Amino acid sequence: MATTTNYGWDTPDDTDLVKDGAAAIRTLGSSADTTVKNLNPETTTGDISYRSATANVNTRLALGTAGQVLRVNSGATAPEWATTADQTPLTTKGDLFGFDTADARIPVGTNGDILTADSTQSLGVKWAAPAAGGGMTSIASGSLSGGQVDITTISGSYKNLQLVVRDFLPSTDGASLRLRLNNDTSNNYSNQASFGYKNNTFGASSWQLSEDADNAVTESIIIVNIYDYANTTTHKMASLYSYSTNMTTTSNFDFLQYIQFFQSTSAITDIDLLVASGTMGGSYILYGVS
Amino acid sequence: MEYHKMPTIKIHNAETNEVIEREMNAEELAQREIDKATIEAEAQAKTEAAADKQALLNRLGITAEEAKLLLS
């Protein structure tokens, strides 16, 4: 019996008798009906179909739900409607979208950090503290009291130190404020007026920070800049600016402008403020200068 | 009765910001006495220098202001 080219439906041979025509047409129609139905299994609006493992037999894929997307199933054997999971790697507030060989999250840095390119990082960037830019950081501050205040364990991570003393007020009239470094009580200090002199000696056991001060009136301010204080190869140097009330005539003032030297190559880690008699009041702030 | 108060020392740790204040120990008190004597000697030297200066001005028969003018 003859068949159609594509689907192999039975058709009458050229020599078949006319009396068998009705049966032949019915057979052909049934075959066509079966094939068409197999190729169009959709039953509901929105259905789609795809080829099954059997030739000329499609499989119905019912319409998915709102928002679903068409994708290949996990076995990679057929399409399916699916609700997609969140496709970003971000999990936490502040995360950024990064990439190495795949999408990845860049966790947020700490407060004040800035995002910096860094090729050694797997994601090529990192959060890092901004480089210091010449600022002043308060290292220690407080009130002057008693006979001595020691500021200890000073970090060596700054370029210079600046000490600011406000309203120094000794209990003993005429006492002056003194400063020592690293608890060194030897004659390794020098206080020089701001001119150049040759052939000087270290003859003092402290730096002088004020003139003989009044014990009742003060509007004084004292600023000491200690330069390159953390180096371990040179002696140390500072500049002093000191303004205070004259102890005899309190409407007048005294001032000192010294270049001060310290005969030690050690890094400065300790600053002592002291009066040799009585006690003292006022306040201090030690800054690290970047 | 009046008690003699020992001078105190305040120690401020800049790393931890811990502050302790205590009475000076014997070594610190001894150093304080040395400092006091040193500063008094400095003051004495300053006074003597001022007296020498005044004596010189007297010998020259000029005032401090006139000397300043002379040297300016």
Alpha helices by DSSP H, chain A: 21-39
Q: Are A111 and A185 contained in the same domain? A: no
Q: Does the pLDDT of residue A247 top 60, yes or no? A: yes
CA proximity to A165, closest of A254, A230, A225: A225
CB A269 within 8 A of CB A154: yes
CA distances from A97 to A46, A92, A123, A125, A127 (A): 37, 11, 10, 11, 13
Query: Rounded to the nearest 10 degrees, how much is the dihedral formed by the CA atoms of A179, A181, A186, A189?
Result: -70
Chain B hits for A185, CB-CB cut-off 8 Å, are 31, 34
Q: Are A278 and A246 contained in the same domain? A: yes
Task: Give the pLDDT band (50/70/90) at residue B64.
Answer: confident
3-class secondary structure, A204: strand
Task: Give the pLDDT band (50/70/90) at residue A132.
Answer: low
Q: Are A7 and A100 contained in the same domain? A: no
pLDDT digits (tens, 9 = 90+) for B28-63: 999 999 999 998 888 888 889 889 988 999 999 998
What is the number of other CB atoms lying within 10 angstroms of the CB of residue A136? 13
Distance CA B7, CA A201 (A): 32
CA proximity to A278, closest of A157, A179, A178, A148: A148
Distance CA A210, CA B62 (A): 30
Distance CA B54, CA B60 (A): 10
CB contact under 8 A, A149 and B36: no
Radius of gyration for chain B, computed over Cα atoms and rounded to the nearest angstrom: 22
Chain B hits for A206, CB-CB cut-off 8 Å, are 35
Q: Which of A18, A47, A82 is where one domain is finished?
A: A82
What is the number of other CB atoms lying within 10 angstroms of the CB of residue A94? 11
CA proximity to A209, closest of A248, A185, A175, A186: A175
Instruction: Give residue A74's identity as a one-letter amino acid code.
Output: S
CA distance B25 to chain A (A): 12
Question: Is B58 near chain A, with CB under 8 Å?
Answer: no
Predicted local distance difference test score (pLDDT) of residue B1: 43
Q: Are A53 and A110 contained in the same domain? A: no
Question: Is B38 near chain A, with CB under 8 Å?
Answer: yes
> How crowded is the C-beta side of A124, counted as CA atoms within 13 Å?
9
Residues A194-199, mean pLDDT to the nearest whole number: 78
**Which of A146, A155, A206 has the CB atom closest to B10's CB atom?**
A146
Domain ranges of chain B: 8-71
Question: Is A142 near chain B, with CB under 8 Å?
Answer: yes
Question: Is A226 near chain B, with CB under 8 Å?
Answer: no
Q: Are A237 and A116 contained in the same domain? A: no
CA-CA-CA-CA torsion sign (A243, A245, A247, A248): positive
**What angle in degrees, to the nearest 10, is found between the helix axes of B64-71 and B26-60?**
80
pTM to 2 decimal places: 0.61
Question: Is B67 near chain A, with CB under 8 Å?
Answer: no
Residues 6+ apart with CB under 8 A from A270: A150, A151, A152, A153, A154, A181, A182, A183
CB contact under 8 A, B7 and A140: no
Q: Which two tokens stand for residue A80?
A: 């399916």
Predicted local distance difference test score (pLDDT) of residue B2: 43
The reply to whether A87 falls in a domain is no
Chain B hits for A276, CB-CB cut-off 8 Å, are 32, 35-36, 38-39
CB contact under 8 A, B14 and A286: yes
Calculate what percentage of chain A has a pLDDT beyond 90.
75
Q: Are A197 and A154 contained in the same domain? A: yes
Question: Is B61 near chain A, with CB under 8 Å?
Answer: no
Q: Which two tokens stand for residue A5?
A: 């080219």
What is the number of other CB atoms lying within 10 angstroms of the CB of residue A86? 7
Q: Are A143 and A169 contained in the same domain? A: yes
> Cβ-count burial of B12 within 10 angstroms (0-12 exposed, 13-18 middle, 19+ buried)?
buried
**Which of B12, B21, B35 has the CB atom closest to A152's CB atom?**
B12
Q: Are A214 and A260 contained in the same domain? A: yes
pLDDT digits (tens, 9 = 90+) for A136-167: 999 999 999 999 999 999 999 999 999 999 99
Number of domains in chain A: 3
pLDDT digits (tens, 9 = 90+) for A21-34: 888 889 899 999 99
Residues A265-273, mean pLDDT to the nearest whole number: 97
Residues A269-278, mean pLDDT to the nearest whole number: 95
Per the DSSP assignment, residues forming a β-bridge with B21 are: B10
Q: Which two tokens stand for residue A141?
A: 């501050």
Q: Provide the domain limits for residue A67.
A: 2-82
Distance CA A188, CA A182 (A): 11
Radius of gyration for chain A, computed over Cα atoms and rounded to the nearest angstrom: 46
Q: Does the pLDDT of residue B65 top 90, yes or no? A: no
Output the domain CATH number for residue A280. 2.60.120
Q: How many CB pairs under 8 A join A and B?
A: 70
- N- to C-terminal Cα distance for chain B? 58
Predicted local distance difference test score (pLDDT) of residue A50: 96
Q: Are A149 and A280 contained in the same domain? A: yes
Predicted local distance difference test score (pLDDT) of residue B4: 57
Largest interatomic CA distance in chain A: 148
